[in-house]
Amino acid sequence: MQPILSNYTASITELKKSPTQILENAGEEVVAILNHNVVSAYLVPSKTYEKLMAMLDDYMLSKEVISRQSEAYTPIKVTLDAL
């Protein structure tokens, strides 16, 4: 059995009738769109999507920082006058 990863669900028929009403009822929550009682898609409000993309960007940046920190590097001695 496939888990439903949202608190709200709607059928494709309901989505066709009134997508705006579904979004208003769900607020900023994700809506699972069901086709024959099986999740076929998730309807994600724009604010939620933007938050997800920001979190993903932060995660990818942190992975890059960690990978660069683990690289071997040779320190360079610099005097303040050289700057």
**Interval 58-74: pLDDT, tens:** 999 999 988 888 777 77
Establish if 28 belongs to a structural domain.
yes
User: CA dihedral defined by 74, 75, 78, 83, rounded to 10 degrees?
Assistant: 80
Establish if 1 belongs to a structural domain.
no
pTM: 0.71
Instruction: Tell me the sheet residues that pair with 34.
Output: 11, 39
The structural domain count of the chain equals: 1
pLDDT for residue 1 is more than 80: no
| pLDDT score at 72 | 74
Establish if 17 belongs to a structural domain.
yes
Q: How confident is the model at residue 41 (pLDDT cuts 50, 70, 90)?
A: very high
| pLDDT score at 56 | 98
Question: Domain range spanning residue 41?
Answer: 8-70
Share of the chain above pLDDT 70, in %: 100
